[in-house]
């Protein structure tokens, strides 16, 4: 019984170690990008994100929010 428990423990320990290594390997491009940004000679203050058709310089349409009507505060009597 002890041998089975030890074997299961070793298998689970090696599987968790493998998952940790796989996660770090998949995250490595982003980790390198962050390290390069942090230790660059002049840190970049903003990040440019361009999504498809947003690249054009046409002015955006302004949609006003509807104005909320104010509640009339008439004198009320407490019951």
Q: Is 0.85 topped by the overall pTM?
A: no
CB–CB of 23/29 below 8 Å? no
Structure tokens at 21: 């290594």
The per-residue pLDDT for range 16-39, each reduced to its tens digit, is 999 999 999 999 988 898 888 788
Q: What is the CA radius of gyration of the chain?
A: 30
Evaluated on CA atoms 53, 57, 61, 64, the torsion sign reads positive
CB–CB of 43/37 below 8 Å? yes
The per-residue pLDDT for range 39-66, each reduced to its tens digit, is 877 655 666 666 655 555 556 666 676 6
């Amino acid at each position: 019984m002890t041998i089975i428990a030890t074997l299961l423990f070793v298998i689970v320990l090696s599987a968790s170690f493998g998952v940790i290594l796989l996660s770090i390997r998949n995250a490595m491009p982003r980790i390198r990008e962050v390290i390069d940004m942090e230790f660059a000679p002049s840190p970049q203050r903003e990040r440019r994100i361009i999504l498809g058709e947003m690249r054009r310089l046409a002015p955006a349409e302004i949609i006003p929010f509807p104005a909320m009507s104010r509640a009339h505060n008439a004198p009320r009597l407490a019951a």
